[in-house]
């Protein structure tokens, strides 16, 4: 019986990947996550090496988080009412421009940290619109009966990319420096955009005017009306707030001389 269940799960995975739009979406999401995670690591290292100030590392997360939170509610509402593929393409275009800006700023003389923070804020804005549109697009491409398998693949792809992205960024930064790392970030986002362009256009499911589903605060009302969902979201929020120790890893790596030992080996 267990073998049958395993083979059924594998068959479901193949069924999901046979859907052309979902397959391109998954590849786009993986490359986009690799790019953004790698960029986050490189920016952290670069700013810390410029300032040697732990507070400067915290400011990276603060700038991006504030911009993301301010626009997140409206971004989800906007994604519900507009074509998702176009939103993803536009936001990935902004992220490509941000990667190019990081590369250009790194090559320029007299680089100021405030310019890096400005680009970080722009990435937060783009991501606040890209991720809601991505989640909605994924749901629209896969039949309801096999969507759980698609959700599992989405989660697996994100986890793998979130591990490989910073690892790639660290190795390339130690080997060739920030310029080469930003160039790879740029290429990865270009690949993500390529697969997004191969995704089909799915018209938005516009609800009648006046529907509560189009109310900007409908999501908040839904969450607060369901204690289980509210508790789960609150627990995750506090875990993120108090468990984000990885943000200061460049400090520990610097004190332990990790970068220099790695560079010497390469």
pLDDT tens per residue, range 183-235: 999 999 999 999 999 999 888 765 544 444 456 666 677 777 888 887 887 77
5 falls within a domain: no
Q: Helix axis angle, 84-107 relative to 54-81, nearest 10°?
A: 160
Is 9 a member of any domain? no
| Confidence at 25, pLDDT banded by 50, 70, 90 | very high
- Which structure tokens are listed for 202? 């799915």
Find all residues with CB under 8 Å of 66, minimum gap 6, and list them: 124
Q: How far apart are CA 228 and CA 215, in angstroms?
A: 22
Asked whether the predicted pLDDT for residue 24 surpasses 90, the reply is: yes
| Maximum CA extent, the chain | 66
Separation CA 260–CA 16 (nearest Å): 45
- CA 203 to each of CA 37, 72, 192: distance values in angstroms, whole numbers, following the listed order: 30, 22, 21
Distance CA 138, CA 29 (A): 10
Could you tell me if residue 193 is inside a domain?
Answer: yes
User: 3-class DSSP state for residue 119?
Assistant: helix
Question: pLDDT, tens digit, for every residue of 59-110?
Answer: 887 888 788 778 877 887 788 888 999 999 999 999 999 999 999 999 887 7
> What is the Cα–Cα distance from 111 to 96, expressed in whole angstroms?
20
When pLDDT is averaged across residues 15-32 and rounded to a whole number, the result is: 91
Residue 6 domain-assigned (yes or no): no
Residue 120's pLDDT is 92
Cα–Cα distances in angstroms (integers) from residue 108 to residues 89, 111, 151, 203, in the given order: 29, 6, 43, 43
Confidence of residue 4 (pLDDT cuts 50, 70, 90): very low
Residue 86 lies in a domain: yes
Can you tell me the mean pLDDT for 25-33?
A: 95
Predicted local confidence at residue 11, as pLDDT: 59
Structural domains of the chain, count:
1
Distance (Å, whole) CA 92 – CA 125: 11
Per-residue pLDDT at 252:
72
Q: How far apart are CA 52 and CA 64, in angstroms?
A: 20
| Residue whose token pair is 């603060």 | 62
Mean pLDDT, the chain, integer: 81
In a domain? residue 2: no
Q: How confident is the model at residue 263 (pLDDT cuts 50, 70, 90)?
A: very low
Q: Is residue 38 part of a domain?
A: yes
Find the range with the poorest average confidence among 2-16, 147-161, 163-177. Answer: 2-16
Q: Report d(CA 42, CA 64) in Å as an integer.
A: 15
pLDDT at 167 exceeding the cut of 80: yes
| CA gap 164, 33 in Å, rounded | 10
By CB neighbour count within 10 A (0-12 exposed, 13-18 middle, 19+ buried), where does 113 fall?
middle
pLDDT attached to residue 206: 59
7 in a structural domain: no
Tens digits of residue pLDDT in 97-146: 999 999 999 988 777 888 999 999 999 899 989 988 988 898 888 888 88
- Average confidence (pLDDT) over 8-35: 83
Q: Name the band, by pLDDT with cuts 50, 70 and 90, for residue 241.
A: low
Tally of CB atoms within 10 A around 111: 15
Domain assignment of residue 168, given as a range = 21-265
Question: What share of the chain in percent tops pLDDT 90?
Answer: 32
CATH number of the domain where residue 215 is located: 1.20.1250.20
pLDDT, position 243 = 57
């Amino acid at each position: 019986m267990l073998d049958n269940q395993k083979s059924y799960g594998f068959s479901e995975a193949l069924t999901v990947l046979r859907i052309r739009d979902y397959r391109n979406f998954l590849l786009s999401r993986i490359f986009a996550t690799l790019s953004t995670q790698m960029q986050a690591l490189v920016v952290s290292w670069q700013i810390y090496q410029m300032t040697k100030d732990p507070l400067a590392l915290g400011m990276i997360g603060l700038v991006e988080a504030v911009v993301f939170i301010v626009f997140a509610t409206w971004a989800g509402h906007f994604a519900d009412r507009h074509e998702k593929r176009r939103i993803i393409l536009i936001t990935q275009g902004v992220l490509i421009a941000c990667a190019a800006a990081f590369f250009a700023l790194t090559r320029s003389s007299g680089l100021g940290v405030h310019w890096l923070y400005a680009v970080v804020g722009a990435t937060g804005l783009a991501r606040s619109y890209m991720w809601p549109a991505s989640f909605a697009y994924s749901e629209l491409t896969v039949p309801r009966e096999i969507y759980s398998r698609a959700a599992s693949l989405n989660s697996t792809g994100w986890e793998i990319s979130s591990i490989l992205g910073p690892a790639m960024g660290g190795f390339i930064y130690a080997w060739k420096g920030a310029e080469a790392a930003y160039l790879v970030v740029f290429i990865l986002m270009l690949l993500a955009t390529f697969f997004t362009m191969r995704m089909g256009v799915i018209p938005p499911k516009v609800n009648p005017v006046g529907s509560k589903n189009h109310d900007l605060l409908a999501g908040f009302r839904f969450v607060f009306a369901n204690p289980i969902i509210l508790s789960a979201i609150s627990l995750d929020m506090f875990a993120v707030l108090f468990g984000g120790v990885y943000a200061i890893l460049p400090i520990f790596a610097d004190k332990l001389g990790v970068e220099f030992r790695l560079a010497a080996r390469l």
